[in-house]
Chains A and B, each alone.
Chain A
């Protein structure tokens, strides 16, 4: 009993702090506006006897209240109904008391004319009023207390009901049996087993890739292109970090070299070399690869953290060199390089659609190369190095050669990414190549799942696509993004789509006694 009370109070305090935090940074108001927009409610209209904004706010804070109850009820699994309800109510009460107290204090201060947004910039009088449901301080605070307690009670009761009746378990069972039935239809089963299945799937994917750029408009083409370039970078870093296990924090250096190669060779200023893009493209890749090899040679014997620090420094050196006064004659200095030339094919100057096709094509090429390498003697050598470098040497693997190879191929992908990036933006400058690029790409690889190609793609979408989708949250974009990342790593610590191992003993299509059709 005592432990239950303690845990209820703890949960209540946690939720109280979360609610207050959201209140003090003004997120409660933004969230209410988003809900208002979502349901297409007109401002100042009346819903259920309330102002539409107050209604939206009630919905938002109510959801947090219900969540508190659900959360607490879930931790009381197997307890009798009364205990669960009491526990959830106590959580709601604690939650409500904390919120009500602060709501009362801020409300009174606001009523007496103190401008709190001098101290907390987002705590506007309107926000404070909204947090009190547009009531007086006392009435608003009491409403908060009652509302949060009741919603927690509701959440607890619903959770108990769902747990006892095992609705989710039954739904999952139903889904599985439906899936099984669909697969047991002879036509479907034959299609899935036929050699055309994967071709058809790839064909569909290709069709989507062909059609999407024509349909979604310039803004999304640009965003998708950025995501695509990050997929490319992620695939390269995935070879270095995910497969070979070499922590490289200066990956942006190779990206910068690709970008600067194309910029300096195709732009009229500062060198006046207006070379053809298609000629410069392989040169950019080559330059990045060469620098990758040159960098890795001196650091070959370093492992783990030491390698990370050296590569981090290298990434910064390249960026600082690119904007240094001494090299302005070569690189264009801090201003960067403008008017970078782009690709022209049979008289067609590439527009946003063309670039997106080019990026898709590059990504497909990178996936192809990665897959081929991963499923070969080289890929196995890389992975064994990642697992245990010492034993890997004892297996006859030339560690130095394979490290150089991993760096070179990773750098080549990054170089390609850099070329595409600079050409598409028609510009490149030192600030395009700061450390955050390295960190973002590394995050994409880790969030997606190390060593996994679908993981890298998912990771790049999350890291570069999600912030665009979250634009609606305006000031709170970064907060929401960070929260999502933390949640994702908690829920799927191995990444969104972790690497799965290829089956060799029971290969697909090989008859296995007693285990036919094993996946």
Chain B
């Protein structure tokens, strides 16, 4: 099995604060890898290091064996990494289907001159783009809502639309930042199924940040735990559940240890 993403000793500092401290991760192809940790553990900063919004001070980020360190976010998207956001960030006045078509940007080629002349190639590409957007809309279960403005969609639909937009670039690695934030248990269960489908039907690797433990334990092949920017544990869901350092990071030390 190939390795989709590998980080080696990634360090990101903001002034004196070390937000991400020497984190090593290996995400294999066709797997679901979760990163968990208490609030402020550096999970989103770590995401930003991978997607090129931050450049780490130290370490390296490898995508299918090639370093993507120092590339700009749009270049990294071209390589095949897509992401969603913790607080939904759709293009709110554009329609759902247009949002997906923006996501297709990196796969399309028409430039401004072709757009004005409407070359046959551009027309064909545009037609295919609309078709693909319809297909993705259907894939995430939003058929019929395509012409609605993104901001008018219900909350759960917006979450799924964001994933459809990310998928539109045909990524090899998908980064999901808390996809179940604000969802009820039913919706969360649906999301678990959906993430499984993403892995099984599309065969892509998924890196997941999540707070909902039911979701994390149900969906992940492997889990890494961050605390104060450092990786304190990594393993299968059951290993993580019983790891004393993880329990300590979330719940604090048992009273007996303070007394000792």
Contacts and interface: CB of A to CB of B under 8 A. Distances in A.
| B is bound to A | yes
Interface of A: 369, 372-373, 376-381, 383-384, 387-388, 390-399, 405, 409, 501-506
B101 A504 contact: yes
A502 B144 CA distance: 15
A387 B95 contact: no
Interface stretch (B4-12, B54-62, B107-115, B196-204): B107-115
B103 interface: yes
A140 to B, nearest CB: 55
Given A372-B118, A373-B115, A405-B112, A393 B73 contact: yes
Given A395-B165, A396-B106, A504 B133 contact: yes
A383 B94 contact: yes
Interface in B138-182: 144, 146-147, 149, 165, 169
Interface string B61-84: 000000000001110011000110
B92 interface: yes
17 contacts: A376-B115, A376-B122, A377-B101, A377-B108, A377-B115, A388-B89, A393-B74, A394-B51, A396-B74, A396-B77, A501-B93, A501-B94, A501-B98, A505-B96, A505-B134, A505-B146, A505-B147
A387 B147 contact: no
A328 B18 CA distance: 59
Contacts of B91: 383-384, 387-388, 391-392
Given A378-B111, A395-B169, A396-B169, A501 B106 contact: no
Given A387-B92, A396-B169, A505-B147, 19 more contacts: A373-B112, A373-B115, A377-B126, A380-B98, A380-B102, A380-B105, A381-B102, A383-B93, A384-B94, A384-B102, A393-B72, A393-B74, A394-B53, A395-B103, A395-B165, A396-B78, A396-B105, A409-B112, A504-B146
Contacts of A388: 89, 91
Nearest to B151: A387
Residue of B96, B98, B106, B146 with highest tally of chain A CB at under 10 A: B98
B246 interface: no
Nearest to B122: A376
How many chain B residues sit at the interface, stated as a range, is: 35 or more
Contacts of A502: 95, 98
Nearest to A398: B74
Interface string B114-137: 011010001000100110011001
Contacts, number: 112
Residue of A384, A399, A504 with highest tally of chain B CB at under 10 A: A504
Contact of B105 (A377, A390, A504): A377
B116 A369 contact: yes
A336 to B, nearest CB: 35
Nearest to A391: B89
Contact of B147 (A372, A397, A405, A506): A506
A502 B85 CA distance: 26
Contact of A376 (B77, B96, B103, B110): B110
A contact face: mostly helix, strand, loop, or mixed: helix
Contacts of B53: 390, 393-394
Contacts of B144: 505
B74 A505 contact: no
Contacts of A378: 110-112, 115
Contact of B137 (A373, A391, A505): A505
A227 to B, nearest CB: 25
Residue of B83, B115, B126 with highest tally of chain A CB at under 10 A: B115
Nearest to B104: A377
Contacts of A376: 110, 112, 115, 122, 126
A398 B108 CA distance: 13
List the 10 closest A-B pairs by CB distance, nearest first.
A505-B146, A396-B106, A376-B115, A396-B77, A387-B91, A504-B97, A393-B73, A384-B102, A503-B147, A372-B116
A369 B114 CA distance: 11
A394 B165 CA distance: 11
B74 A397 contact: yes
B51 A381 contact: no
A411 to B, nearest CB: 14
A378 B129 CA distance: 13
A380 B149 CA distance: 14
Contacts of A395: 74, 77, 102-103, 105-106, 165, 169
B73 A394 contact: yes
B139 to A, nearest CB: 14
Nearest to A501: B95
Contact of A387 (B93, B118, B134): B93
Interface string B10-33: 000000000000000000000000
A376 B115 CA distance: 6
B61 to A, nearest CB: 16
Contacts of B98: 380, 383, 501-502, 504
A502 B97 CA distance: 10
A282 to B, nearest CB: 16
Contact of A372 (B101, B103, B115, B134): B115
